[in-house]
Amino acid sequence: MTTHADSPAVRRLADWDHDRLESLAEEYDTPLYVTDLDRVTENYARFSSAFPDAHVMYAAKAHTGKSVLEAVLEAGGDIECAAWGELKRSIDAGADPNTLQYTAVNPPDHDLDYATDLAEDAPGLTITIGAMDTLDRLQARGYDGRIAIRINPGIGTGHHEKVATGADAKFGIPYERVPDVADRVRDEFDLVGLHAHAGSGVLTEGLEEHCRAIERVGEMARRVGDESLEFVDVGGGYGVPYREDDEPLDLEKTSELIRDAVGELDATLKLEPGRYIVADASLILSEVNTIKEAPETTVVGVDASLATLIRPAMFGSYHPMLNVSAPERESEPVTVGGPVCTSADVFAHDRPIARPEREDVIAIGNAGSYGYELASQFHSQPRPAEVALEDGEARVVRRRETLDDVTRVERE
């Protein structure tokens, strides 16, 4: 198993073993998530090696599957959580709660209850706040522990406006208010760090704007006294190439630009990659059930849907697709959609794919980040199974839901 930083910077859909994928679809049925845990480990190792003096945490919200969290922990990573469920799942996967960082965004009461109860026995837990109001709520719960302040740098970056968090008022303390908030935190809590997250899906060509936000974080750290801080966390957002002709993120250049942007610090630099670690480690296998010749296009119906992978419907995202049953057939442009009753349930319009036939298996690539995480039971469809690959072996890490699972929580 390759776990070194010299592993390939990107894993294209064509790089997967097509025969193996087809056999997995036959054995475990479709739609099916397939996650390569060896690739998760490789990606974490490569990213960490690019930032040897930094503290690299995995942003759990990208994929909270227990097997993925275990792989990150085994690789030596710590975990950043955005909700109480992620805290619980990280602990269940073996994380020491003293190493966890909880980034609270408009946190519900049960989130703060869980986090503060957890901190009673795990004083190393760090809570990141993005509103003065959260400090009041923590204080009301008797919490006076480790706090990081989330800064709103006023600059948003990323692949879509819906993920450009750095310029969204929902996220973080307004920039010029941070010194006053820092004074209060020092008086009433243990101020350990500053945090910011500019956006998501940043590739090499987007680094300049991304680093403008990081410059502001470094400036604020020195303004409030970085020598008294344990860390300065510049978040995640580091992208992967979804399109076949996009280049992978240049990690060497990324590391250099981020170090230059944040400037000289006494505090430790922290980063929180999520997408980079898991996106190309997972794909979806789906079976063709319908071929319909329409005047404008050929419609290929598959058993996966927006309930399986919502990113194309939510963000207009591109995901590579491959007919793993017959990749040698001549390609033709087809429209690929699922069984959900909305025009949004389409994975690709007029995409050249090796001519699909009924019962062929279509692979949808780069599904590891915000794939299963955003899966739903829309149309009362059970969520798919997930199979993990590790050291050449396959195992079910998430069983396929049944119709009984869909209705189990309803009152009789």
pLDDT score, position 105: 87
- Whether 156 has a pLDDT exceeding 50, the answer reads no
The band of 169, judged by pLDDT with boundaries at 50, 70 and 90, is low
pLDDT score, position 199: 72
Lowest mean pLDDT among 2-11, 113-122, 342-351, 390-399: 2-11
What mean pLDDT comes out for the span 176-190? 96
What mean pLDDT comes out for the span 395-412? 93
Beta carbons within 8 Å of 2's beta carbon, 6+ residues apart: 38, 42
pLDDT score, position 356: 97
3 state SS of 305: coil
What mean pLDDT comes out for the span 184-212? 88
CA distances to 20, 182, 200 from 230, in Å: 47, 14, 25
Residue 341: active-site member: yes
pLDDT score, position 29: 98
What mean pLDDT comes out for the span 172-188? 94
- Whether 279 has a pLDDT exceeding 60, the answer reads yes
* CB contact at 8 A, 241 and 10: yes
pLDDT score, position 160: 37
The band of 104, judged by pLDDT with boundaries at 50, 70 and 90, is confident
CA dihedral 26, 32, 37, 43 (to 10 degrees): 120
Known binding site for pyridoxal 5'-phosphate: residues?
A: 237, 272-275, 370
Using the 8-state DSSP alphabet, how is residue 359 labeled?
A: T
pLDDT score, position 197: 83
Strands of 252-327, DSSP E: 268-271, 282-293, 298-302, 321-323
pLDDT score, position 155: 61
- Whether 162 has a pLDDT exceeding 50, the answer reads no
Q: pLDDT of 17-26, one tens digit each?
A: 999 999 999 9
pLDDT score, position 351: 96
Known binding site: residues?
A: 237, 272-275, 311, 370
The band of 168, judged by pLDDT with boundaries at 50, 70 and 90, is low
Known binding site for substrate: residues?
A: 275, 311, 370
Give dist(CA 33, CA 282) in Å, integer.
Answer: 7
- Whether 161 has a pLDDT exceeding 50, the answer reads no
Q: pLDDT of 287-307, one tens digit each?
A: 999 999 999 999 999 999 999
pLDDT score, position 167: 47
The band of 101, judged by pLDDT with boundaries at 50, 70 and 90, is very high
pTM over 0.85? The answer is yes
pLDDT score, position 226: 83
- Whether 157 has a pLDDT exceeding 60, the answer reads no
Between 160 and 155, residue with greater pLDDT = 155
Please give the share of the chain, as a percent, with pLDDT higher than 90: 86
Domains of the chain: 37-275 (3.20.20.10), 282-410 (2.40.37.10)
Beta carbons within 8 Å of 309's beta carbon, 6+ residues apart: 284, 319, 347, 364, 367, 371, 374, 375
Looking from the CA of 335 toward its CB, the CA atoms found within 13 Å total 14
Give the CA angle between residues 61, 380, 312 to the nearest 5°. 50
Of 341, 343, 404, 408, which is the active-site residue? Answer: 341
